[in-house]
Each structure stands twice: as C-alpha cells, then as structure tokens.
C-alpha cells in the first residue's frame, strides 16, 4: 500500500483544479499547469480535495498511485506558492548577474557564459555570489538549477564552483610534503 497515495491532495483557496479523465489542470495566482497521468490510477475531486486510487491491485498500479498523488500535489503547490532553488558561487572572481533576459556568469573561463532565462522562470541575483531561481513548475526549476550548476561544478579541493545552498561538499586533502 502506498503511504503517500492514501492521503488526499488538499486544494487551497485561490487554486482551481479540474479533473478530466486522466488529465489534471491547476490554475492559480502563478499560472496554469497540467499533467496527464497513467491509466493505472483513477482521480476524483470532492470539494477541496483530490483523491487518487489505484484501478486494480497490480504492481504497476500501486507504483503509480503515490507518483500520481505527488505530481498533483506539485501542481497545486506550484500554482499557489511556487518553488525556488538557491545556488551559491565560490571562487575568486566568480560572479553572476542578470542582464535583460540572460543570466551572465563569470566562472573563471576566458569568456563569460550567457544563459538565456526560460519562459516561466524568474532568476534574481541579490549578491554577485548567489542565484535564486523561482517558478511554478517544480521540474523546470530543478532542471534550470542543474544546468547552471553544470557550468562549473564544485571541485573537491578548494570548493570552487557553483553549488546548491544546502549542498555539503566532501573535501579532499591536498598534497603532503
């Protein structure tokens, strides 16, 4: 039995959820998101709750039960509050800034990196060494954060590079004399 799938998704005020067969659409103050779920689960809406149940007792239906509930929960949370990811930049001369619709990164390469900000994503650089990525779609926010981090991953000796704010780096010991 799915522990996640047993609980309903509670829809907060200001969010409208529409269920049409396997297609779920959520509208809120941050926009509109939709997802099409697998046919192994049935979705029903009662008042301000969305329930997900497996259609039968097969292994695939039980696997998709919790997954479908999590996807619907991410839709509702995204259009109501949004998601955010924070990145830190460590290194001498490493910095970031937003110029128009581009994020400009200087990460120790001979040229600066210009990253076009995707539609539906907002990027802020309050300090030159911190980047805040926010948006309604959880998957897209995480993907943008991963792409920016991959420009210069943190190295294990000095920790220089782009890392998530709460990421813990395992440091290596340098040369010994």
The pLDDT of residue 176: 86
- Tokens of residue 167, six digits: 């990421």
Give the model's confidence band at 2: pLDDT under 50 very low, under 70 low, under 90 confident, else very high.
Answer: low
DSSP 63: H
Nearest CA-CA partner of 149 in 118, 113, 122: 113
Summarize pLDDT for 68-117 with one digit per residue, the tens. 999 999 999 999 999 999 999 999 999 999 999 999 999 999 999 999 99
Burial class of residue 75 in the structure, from the number of CB atoms within 10 Å of its CB (0-12 exposed, 13-18 middle, 19+ buried) = buried
pTM over 0.85: yes
Summarize pLDDT for 21-38 with one digit per residue, the tens. 899 999 999 999 999 998
Q: Are 71 and 23 in contact (CB under 8 A)?
A: no
Q: What domains can be seen in the chain, in order of their start residue?
A: 9-80 (3.90.930.12), 83-164 (3.90.930.12)
């Amino acid at each position: 039995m799915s522990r996640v799938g047993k609980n309903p998704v509670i829809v907060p005020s200001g969010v409208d959820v529409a269920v049409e067969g396997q297609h779920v659409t959520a509208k809120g103050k941050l926009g509109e998101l939709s997802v099409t779920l697998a046919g192994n689960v049935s979705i029903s809406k009662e008042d301000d709750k969305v329930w997900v149940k497996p259609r039968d007792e097969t292994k695939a239906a039980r696997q998709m039960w919790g997954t479908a509930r999590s996807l619907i929960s991410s839709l509702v949370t995204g259009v109501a509050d949004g998601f955010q990811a924070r990145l830190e930049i460590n290194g001498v001369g490493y910095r970031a800034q937003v110029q128009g619709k581009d994020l400009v990164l200087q990460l120790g390469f001979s040229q600066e990196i210009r990253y076009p900000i995707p539609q539906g994503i907002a990027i802020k650089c309050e300090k030159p060494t911190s980047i805040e990525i926010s948006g309604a779609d959880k998957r897209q926010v995480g993907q943008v954060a991963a792409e920016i981090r991959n420009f210069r991953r943190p190295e294990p000796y000095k920790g220089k590079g782009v890392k998530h704010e709460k990421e813990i780096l395992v440091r290596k010991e340098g040369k010994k004399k």
